[in-house]
Structure 1
Amino acid sequence: MIKLLHVEDDADIREIAEMALSLSGEYDVVQCETGEIALAYVENYTPDVILLDMMMPGMTGRQTLEKMREKPEFADVPAIFMTARAQHAEIDELLAIGAADVISKPFDPIALGDQIKQAMEKARLTQAA
């Protein structure tokens, strides 16, 4: 099972993502509605991959990832951002700070699991190089 931490403030998106990923049988999904809650949760949990909403109240997805990356055990955990504002400049910026991928909203629930696995593989190959 792939341990996935999903940080998303929109309850509907959390529900759709959780249903799509759980139905595949490949993901153990933990969800948090804010960056602050996610940071508290990861004190005792290290996921295989992090799926972050970009724009959330309080901490943004980027700020949440930056805080997580301060912990050595999170240095190599692939992070994927989900955003409705998928402009080329923003995507390039997120990739430059170490995002494995950026998924545009609205996303395809059927393809989500495969997109995450592809991003994890891309991150693994990048780390090995």
Structure 2
Amino acid sequence: MKKLKSILIIEDEEDITEILKIAIEHSSDILLSFATNGQDGLTKANIEKPDLILLDVLMPGMSGLELMDELNKNEILKQIPVIFITSRVQRSEIQEYKKRGAIGLIEKPFAPLEIVTRIHLLLEENEQLKKLNP
């Protein structure tokens, strides 16, 4: 039996969350959970240990970059792949996202089909890496 994959979406903009939810829900093998701010996202990541985190960079309170720093302090959570969602895609910012450990970047506005395809590829890739490095 195939294990269901889980994605934690941490995004403060309701319209972006809704677009992601609609696009991803069509994939029956993915379970979604949501957080609207960094602190709630950190709590849910600790409890749920999702297979992937989609993380908004600019949020009130704890930003996505600050949350990424917190994830990196935890040996288990730092292994969860993170894709940043942002409208800030200047070269220096992209380098900062990668430096913090993000495995990918989705630029706002985005095409929902592109996100679903990238998510599936990243989850498969991560699964293969786990098999190679148990």
TM-score by length of 2: 0.85
Alpha-carbon distance between aligned partners in 1 of 2:83 and 2:113, rounded to the nearest angstrom? 17
- Percent identity, please: 32
Unaligned runs of 5+ in 2: none
Deviation at 1:55, TM superposition (A): 0.4
In the alignment, what sits opposite 1:91? 94
Q: Secondary structure at the match of 1:24?
A: coil
In the alignment, what sits opposite 2:30? 27
Q: 1:123–1:86: structure 2 CA closer, same or farther, 3 Å change rule?
A: farther
Contact 1:100 1:123 in 2 (8 A): no
Alpha-carbon distance between aligned partners in 2 of 1:119 and 1:103, rounded to the nearest angstrom? 13
Unaligned runs of 5+ in 1: none
Of residues 67, 71, 74, the one that matches 1:68 is 71
Alpha-carbon distance between aligned partners in 2 of 1:24 and 1:9, rounded to the nearest angstrom? 23
Deviation at 1:122, TM superposition (A): 6.9
RMSD of aligned Cα (Å): 1.9
In the alignment, what sits opposite 2:115? 112
Alpha-carbon distance between aligned partners in 2 of 1:26 and 1:107, rounded to the nearest angstrom? 22
Q: 1:112–1:96: structure 2 CA closer, same or farther, 3 Å change rule?
A: same
Residues 17-68 of structure 1: CA distance to partner in whole angstroms, max 9, x if unpaired? 0110011223211010001111222332100011000100111111112112
Q: Which structure has the larger Rg?
A: 2
Residues 65-88 of structure 1: CA distance to partner in whole angstroms, max 9, x if unpaired? 211222221121100001011112
In the alignment, what sits opposite 1:52? 55
Does 1:102 find its partner at 2:101? Answer: no
Runs of 4 or more, structure 1, over 4 Å off, are 122-125
Alpha-carbon distance between aligned partners in 1 of 2:80 and 2:98, rounded to the nearest angstrom? 14
Residue-pair matches, total: 127
Contact 1:53 1:81 in 2 (8 A): yes
